[in-house]
Amino acid sequence: MAIKDLIKMNNKKTNFIFVGGKGGVGKTTISAATALWMAKSGKKTLIISTDPAHSLSDSFGMKIGHVPTKIIENLYAVEIDPEKAVEEYKEKLKSQMDMTQGMGLDLLEEEMDLASMSPGIDEAAAFDQFIRYMTTNEYDVVIFDTAPTGHTLRLLSFPDIMDSWVGKMIKLRKQLQAMTKMFKKILPFTSDENDEDKALENLEKTKKQIMKARKIMSDPERTSFKMVVIPEEMSIYESERAIKALKKYDIPVDNIVVNQVLPKKDDCEFCKARRRIQNERLKEIEEKFKDKKISKVPLLKKEARGIKTLEKIAEMLYGQPKAS
């Protein structure tokens, strides 16, 4: 089975590919090469970097922003700006939770300021962007160039966290709605019932989007997770743990991409020694991940930057692209 057979394309709905792994293994290179191959195959493709330390701009050799930037025909890229994402997220929270004058708006703003200092607010904001692209069908395929493993696992656990949080907000909103109706005649600053209904409607909509995203992420016909490793112990062990964690979220990992494999030509003692170690690690990878498709990308002589280099890597992985 060729690696390209693992890229299942549902022509009626957007398909999603996650590329993850330990920091420094070449996730962005594999993500960018995959996105380029998809675009060259005639698929309208979006690649999104969810890593706060973005490197897509470096890979493609052009400036990429917080909104989709055209790279070539059929290919667009986004580097999520954490600060902008947080501001957009806070505005969204504010609009959904607006309690009208005199009923807690000041308290809400204080809580949001506290939330902005919380370690999880950037991930919540990133997840909000994540849902935005997962619940539309604007693209044939969306590729997520993820942050290092720990950050990615937290991001992918957010459907459960956000679902619980939104559920609590819906419950609170209904309680406030009942109180508003009860005291409407004696509290002139209470909001109009239609405003309360709209706020509740927005929260219900968010909950449905979260549930939809969760369902898509666990659908092997629409979602693929490709784990990038290098032939080193730490990378192998971290990837093994990550795959077990992803299994808990029902996210299918179908492909292991082994990056930075030394060429077989042994032209120095150091190269021979490194190659022997890599051979041992490659055997370990094949044993630990024998139920996955394993593909290899050689260590390049220069940095994987620019369209031409990425095209070569894409061909190593997927063969020549054929426009559909």
Most confident of 3-12, 23-32, 48-57: 23-32
**Chain segment 146-196, per-residue pLDDT in tens:** 876 666 666 666 666 665 656 666 666 666 666 556 555 555 555 555 555
What is the predicted pLDDT for the residue at 301?
85
> Between β-strands 293-298 and 75-79, what pairing exists: parallel, antiparallel or unpaired?
unpaired
Question: In terms of pLDDT, which residue wins out, 301 or 9?
Answer: 301
The answer on pLDDT for 237 being more than 80 is yes
Task: Give the per-residue pLDDT at 132.
Answer: 83
How much is the mean pLDDT over the chain? 79
CATH of domain 12-157+222-318: 3.40.50.300
Tell me what the mean pLDDT of segment 55-59 comes to: 92
- Please give the Cα distance from 176 to 193 (Å, whole number): 11
**pLDDT score for 133:** 84
Give per-residue pLDDT as tens, 9-31.
666 789 999 998 888 899 999 99
pLDDT at 299 over 80: yes
Q: Where are the domains of the chain?
A: 12-157+222-318
pTM: 0.80
